[in-house]
Amino acid sequence: MPQVPFPLEETFRRHFGVPPEVVVLSPGRVNLIGEHTDYNEGWVLPAALDLGTAVAVRRRPDGRLRTVALRLAATDEVALAELRPPRGPTWSRYVRGVAALLLEAGCVFPGADLLIDGDLPLEAGLSSSASLELGVALALAALAGCSIERRALARLGQQAEHDFAGVPCGIMDQMAVALGKAGHALLLDCRTLEIEPVPFPPEARLLIVDSGVPRSLAASAYRERRAECEEAVRRLQALYPQVRALRDVTPEMLAEAQAALPENLRRRARHVVNENRRVLDSVAALRSGDLEAFGRLMDASHESLRGDFEVSGPELDLLVECARRMPGVWGARLTGAGFGGSIIALVEAEQAGPASEGILEEYRRKGGRPGRAWVCMPAEGVRLVNPP
């Protein structure tokens, strides 16, 4: 994501007649490994991306919030006094939700014009919603002269998604967007919210390939999977009262508790328990420079997501198979919640371009879909470009 993406300030002036006061860049995120562990209080290993959302904003005195979303060719306008209850198009609820929560927290602004643009693909499993939430939140907070600690900013974005979009997401996406560090993945403990930056090897690249199958968490089986994990915890607590979340469950506990869990709950829990272990093993592999081991863990993660958690699909499986056949690819897996979206592959830097072309060509031939690909490196988190 370039330092000042797109002719944003010029476009703002064309729409609103004046220049913006604040411009914010907010990255997307990709999860290297650790899927469906965040809402189970486990560990994840995301990275902020050099693809993202740009938000330009200027105050207005009339108590109204007016938003122009360029890529959607859409506008939204609402009085600040009418931000609740949640109404309006889905995309606008993220903006309205963040504004409402900031005002309720005492971060007051008299009204605002917002212009939103970006190069982050939508509905591809790369956290376009979290990127939007935190970009708007930081821009409006800066406009109001409020300073918000980064973890609090992440929690605010998560609450907006819960309360206004109706998606019971975990905290990973917002934390990665808030606290991303260039050249590093982030080991995030989703219970304590402690973050440990993990250097990403310069000889590797993140290759992201979008399947072209849109995904929407609110309309998918995401809620069902989350409910299954919660039910597994309730059943396990009868045997192990110390268990608060699946993070606390060991493989030995699962083996001993087989009779207490129906087959579907046993498989969901097994994925989460093993995925947590894979995250920690992956961090060790990155730190030791063992990219082949990291790739094997990515492969194992995908097989678990496909078999035990059942959130993959034919297109994602095909993309992973295509990626694994490419020279220079150490491993590949679906990324994000599944049900469509993207895969991620760890690939040698010099092979990233040819691998991306080869994957897309094979995917088009065998799957009949075009697909899109991006070669990325871990980037900085959400940031002000021109603070007031």
In a domain, 1, yes or no: no
Same domain, yes or no: 139 and 104: yes
CA–CA distance, 267 with 171 (Å, rounded to integer): 23
Give the range of the structural domain holding residue 355, as residue numbers without chain letter. 204-376
Judge whether 234 lies within some domain. yes
The residue whose two tokens read 């993990």 is 198
Assess whether 65 and 190 both reside in one domain: yes
Residue 312, in any domain of the structure: yes
Let me know if residue 2 belongs to a domain. Answer: no
Do 188 and 51 belong together in one domain?
Answer: yes
CATH number at residue 335: 3.30.70.890
- 155 with 223, same domain? no
Q: What is the mean pLDDT of each run of 10 residues along the chain (388 residues)?
A: 64 94 96 96 96 96 97 96 93 97 97 95 85 98 96 96 89 95 97 96 97 71 92 98 98 95 98 98 97 98 98 96 98 92 96 98 95 96 83
Residues 247 and 360 in one domain: yes
pLDDT for the residue numbered 182: 97
Considering the domain architecture, whether residues 289 and 326 belong to the same structural domain is answered as: yes
pLDDT of residue 1: 44
Q: Are residue 145 and residue 269 in the same domain, yes or no?
A: no
Q: List 189's β-bridge partners, or say none.
A: 43
Q: Distance between CA atoms of 49 and 26, rounded to whole angstroms?
A: 9
Q: Note the pLDDT of residue 2.
A: 42
Residue 3 is assigned to a structural domain of this protein: no
Q: Which residues are catalytic?
A: 173
- Pairing assessment for the beta strands 204-210 and 184-189 based on DSSP bridges: unpaired
Q: Flag whether 26 is in a domain.
A: yes
Are 57 and 177 in the same domain? yes
288 and 230 within one domain: yes
- Look at residue 108 and tell me if it is in a domain: yes
- For residue 280, tell me if it sits in a domain: yes
Q: Are residues 152 and 214 in the same domain?
A: no
**Contacts for 253 with CB less than 8 Å, ≥ 6 apart:** 236, 239, 240, 243
Q: Which two structure tokens, joined as six digits, stand for 188? A: 């995030």
Q: How many domains does the chain have?
A: 2
Q: What is the CATH number of the domain that holds 114?
A: 3.30.230.10
**Helices H, strands E: what count in the chain?**
11, 12
Query: HSE (CB half, 13 Å, CA atoms) of 121?
Result: 19
3-state secondary structure of 202: coil
Same domain, 284 and 149: no
Q: Are strands 64-69 and 112-118 parallel, antiparallel or unpaired?
A: parallel
Same domain as 355, residue 237:
yes
Residue 6's pLDDT is what? 59
